[in-house]
Amino acid sequence: MKTYICVAHAGGQGKTTVAQLLFRNILRKNSKYNLVSADFVDDTGRSKIGKFYPDQVDELGTGARLIAAKLENDPNAALRYWDKFGTILMRGSAVIDVGANVVSLLKQWAHHRSAFRVLQMSNAPPSEILLVCKAEKHAIEDVAELVSTIADNKFIPYEHVTVVLNEVGGSFGRIDVRSVIKEAAPDASVRFVSLPRCTSELWTQLEQTNTPIDRALEMSDREISETFGTDIWSATAGLADLKSWVTSVDKEWKNAGIFK
C-alpha cells in the first residue's frame, strides 16, 4: 500500500493538518495504516502530530545526535539513523509527517544511501508526496525547490507530487504558483489542490487542546460544548462548519486523485 509523505520546507505551513486529513480519510478504508512523524520531539517525547494522536505515532525524531557519531567513531551514524525511514517506505501503508528541519537530512540520506535505486530495486510500494505551502513568496520558492529535487530523482521514487495550496493565511489570488514551479522544474508533473481556511469556531480549540479533526467529527454538539467549555450555539455552528469544511476538502482531493 502507498506511503503518503507530507512535507513543508518551513514550519507553520499546515503539513500536520494535511497529515491529519489524509490519515482520517485513509483509515476509514484501511485500518492497517500507520502514522509516522519525522519531526522535533519535545520533553513529552512527542512531536506535534504525536500530541494529537498519543501513543499512535511512530516517532522518528530529527536524527542522530552529534555525540552519537563521536561515541561510535562512525561518521555514517547519522545516515544510518534514517534507514528506518527507508524501511517504512519499503513497507508502505503509512502517513509520514516530515518536519521542516528534517527535509535536508532526508535528502542527504537519500543521496548517500542511493534510496531511489534501492527502493525501486526492492519493489517498494509507490509514494504520494504532498508539499504544503501558504501564500507566501518564500514558501512557494521553497516548494519549487523541493519539486525540482524530487523530479531530478535525488529523493525517492514517487507516483505523484501534489502541491497543497494552504489558504489559511490568505488566498493565492494573483500568485502564479504553477509558473514558479514550472520554471524550477520544467519537466515535473505536479498536481495542485487547495486547502481552504477552516472558519469553524472550533478550530482554535482543536489546535490548543490537540484534538484530532476525526475525533471532533465523532462528537455530538453537547460533547463539543462540554469538552471545549463553549455554549451550545457555538458548539452546534462550529461542528457544522467543521463538517462542511472537511467534506469540501475530501471532495476536491478525491477529484484530484489523491484518494481512490
Q: Cell 530495486 belongs to which residue? A: 121
Residue 223 has pLDDT above 60, yes or no: yes
Cβ neighbors of 81 (< 8 A, separation 6 or more) are 63, 64, 68
Residue 81 has pLDDT above 90, yes or no: no
Give the model confidence (pLDDT) of 137-164 as tens digits. 899 999 999 899 888 777 899 999 999 9
Q: Which three cell numbers stand for residue 256?
A: 484530484
Three-class SS of residue 255? helix
Q: What is residue 72's predicted lDDT score, i.e. its pLDDT?
A: 57
Q: What is the rounded distance in angstroms from the CA atom of residue 53 to the CA atom of residue 161? A: 26
Q: What is residue 259's predicted lDDT score, i.e. its pLDDT?
A: 77
Q: What is residue 239's predicted lDDT score, i.e. its pLDDT?
A: 97
Q: Which three cell numbers stand for residue 39?
A: 519531526
Q: What is the mean pLDDT of residues 1-30?
A: 90
Q: Is the pTM of this model over 0.85?
A: yes
Specify the DSSP element, H or E, that contains 12: none
Give the model confidence (pLDDT) of 26-56 as tens digits. 888 777 899 999 999 998 889 999 999 998 9
Q: Cell 481552504 belongs to which residue? A: 196
Q: What is residue 155's predicted lDDT score, i.e. its pLDDT?
A: 86
Task: Tell me the one-letter amino acid at 87.
Answer: T
Q: What is residue 68's predicted lDDT score, i.e. its pLDDT?
A: 53
Q: What is the rounded distance in angstroms from the CA atom of residue 110 to the CA atom of residue 52? A: 29
Q: What is the rounded distance in angstroms from the CA atom of residue 45 to the CA atom of residue 50? A: 9
Residue 179 has pLDDT above 80, yes or no: yes
Q: In this predicted structure, which of 36-45, 59-68, 96-105, 172-181 has the lowest mean pLDDT?
A: 59-68
Q: What is residue 14's predicted lDDT score, i.e. its pLDDT?
A: 93
**3-197 has CATH 3.40.50.2020 classification:** no
Q: What is the rounded distance in angstroms from the CA atom of residue 255 to the CA atom of residue 260? A: 9
Q: Which three cell numbers stand for residue 228?
A: 471545549
Band of residue 74 on the pLDDT scale cut at 50, 70, 90: low
C-alpha dist (Å) from residue 1 to 21, 33, 91:
18, 9, 8
Residue 94 has pLDDT above 70, yes or no: yes
